């Protein structure tokens, strides 16, 4: 029997009011490995099967993907979209930018929470989840690594007064943040609480970024000749950081359906 089964059994008992040991650190080997700063891959035990993910600098990854795509023939244009031309069938004919007019067979809306194509141009309805998911704001602060200590191999999540804080170790810094509900704490107080949590109250030179999150999703993620990807299609509580997985899933799923479409046409139906 795997360790997860007795953990969930005891967790259910504890929820029902029965005294039971339901602390996950007592059941999963990953907890001990994290304390030992050990990797989930072992040459000594090649059959070791442990779920894991990688921490990486998303900014550096974006630059790498841009350079690789340009090397494969992508035309990269830096411009601001000023207008979107839509026909009577709710298909996009072109997008107008300060660099000119751009036409395509398929348009991908990756404009973030603004959703310039799907929500603004095509008027795709947005379904809010704010009644169930309260956290709608975040503060992000980068701090230096402590070079006298080993780099921890796991993301640390900590409960704070009106949400939770993350700490993600990279090779060159820590990524820190506080996800919270703006209904229960102001942005200023949230930043002060995060700074106190990190022990940097007296270091104003360490800058913070304030983020607002639009919690929910659009009704259809594929409409006419436009596909929404990433934040333009929706966003939920980032505790499990599933956003990148959903981007990859969206792209794979779209390619599969588009390539195998009977008429190879995007204009037949909207797909959610």
CATH of residue 225: 3.50.50.60
Residue-level pLDDT at 128: 95
Residue-level pLDDT at 190: 98
The tokens describing 113, both together, are 């929470």
Any domain includes 69: yes
Any domain includes 47: yes
- Examine the domain organization and report whether 121 and 250 are in the same domain: yes
Any domain includes 166: yes
Cα distances (Å, whole numbers) of residue 9 to 17, 29, 30, 107, 184: 13, 18, 19, 48, 34
Q: Decide which of 37, 52, 67 is a domain's last residue.
A: 52
- Examine the domain organization and report whether 63 and 113 are in the same domain: yes
- Examine the domain organization and report whether 143 and 207 are in the same domain: yes
Structural domain range at position 141:
137-212
- Examine the domain organization and report whether 68 and 43 are in the same domain: no
Q: Decide which of 14, 30, 52 is a domain's last residue.
A: 52
Other CB atoms within a 10 A radius of the CB of residue 182 amount to 16
- Examine the domain organization and report whether 223 and 108 are in the same domain: yes
Any domain includes 244: yes
Main-chain dihedrals φ then ψ at residue 212, nearest 5 degrees: -115, 135
Residue-level pLDDT at 202: 92
Name every residue whose Cβ is closer than 8 Å to that of residue 53 and which is 6 or more positions away in sequence.
none
Q: Decide which of 52, 78, 93 is a domain's last residue.
A: 52
Residue-level pLDDT at 265: 52
Question: Domain count of the chain?
Answer: 3
Q: Tokens 């599933």 label which residue?
A: 242
Any domain includes 79: yes
Any domain includes 270: no
Residue-level pLDDT at 178: 98
Residue-level pLDDT at 39: 79
Residue-level pLDDT at 267: 46
- Examine the domain organization and report whether 101 and 206 are in the same domain: no
pLDDT in tens, the chain (272 residues): 456 889 999 999 999 999 999 888 888 888 888 888 887 888 888 887 787 877 777 788 889 999 999 999 999 999 999 999 999 999 999 999 999 999 999 999 999 999 999 999 999 999 999 999 999 999 999 999 887 887 788 888 999 999 999 999 888 889 999 999 999 999 999 999 999 999 999 999 999 999 999 999 999 999 999 999 999 999 988 876 778 888 989 999 998 888 777 545 544 444 43
């Amino acid at each position: 029997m795997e360790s997860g089964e007795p953990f969930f059994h005891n967790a259910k008992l504890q929820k029902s009011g029965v005294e039971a040991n339901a602390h996950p650190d007592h059941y999963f080997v990953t907890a001990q490995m994290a304390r030992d700063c050990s990797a989930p891959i072992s040459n000594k035990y090649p059959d070791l099967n442990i779920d894991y993910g990688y921490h990486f600098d998303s900014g550096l990854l974006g630059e790498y993907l841009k350079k690789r795509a340009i090397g494969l023939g992508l035309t990269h244009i830096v411009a601001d979209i000023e207008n979107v031309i839509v026909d009577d069938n709710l298909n996009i004919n072109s997008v107008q930018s300060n660099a000119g007019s751009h036409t395509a067979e398929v348009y991908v809306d990756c404009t973030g929470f603004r959703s310039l194509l799907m929500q603004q141009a095509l008027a795709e309805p947005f379904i809010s989840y704010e009644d169930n998911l309260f956290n709608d704001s975040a503060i992000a602060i980068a701090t230096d690594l402590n070079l006298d200590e080993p780099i921890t191999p796991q993301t640390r999540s900590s409960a704070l007064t009106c949400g939770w804080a993350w700490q993600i170790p990279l090779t060159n810094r820590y990524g820190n943040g506080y996800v919270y509900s703006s209904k229960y704490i102001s942005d200023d107080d949230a930043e002060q609480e995060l700074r106190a949590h990190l022990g940097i109250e007296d270091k104003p030179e360490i800058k913070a970024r304030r983020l607002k999150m639009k919690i929910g999703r659009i009704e259809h993620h594929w409409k006419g000749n436009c596909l929404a990807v990433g934040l333009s299609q929706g966003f939920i509580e980032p505790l499990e950081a599933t956003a990148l997985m959903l981007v990859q899933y969206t792209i794979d799923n779209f390619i599969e359906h588009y390539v195998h479409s009977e008429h190879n046409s995007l204009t037949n139906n909207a797909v959610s």
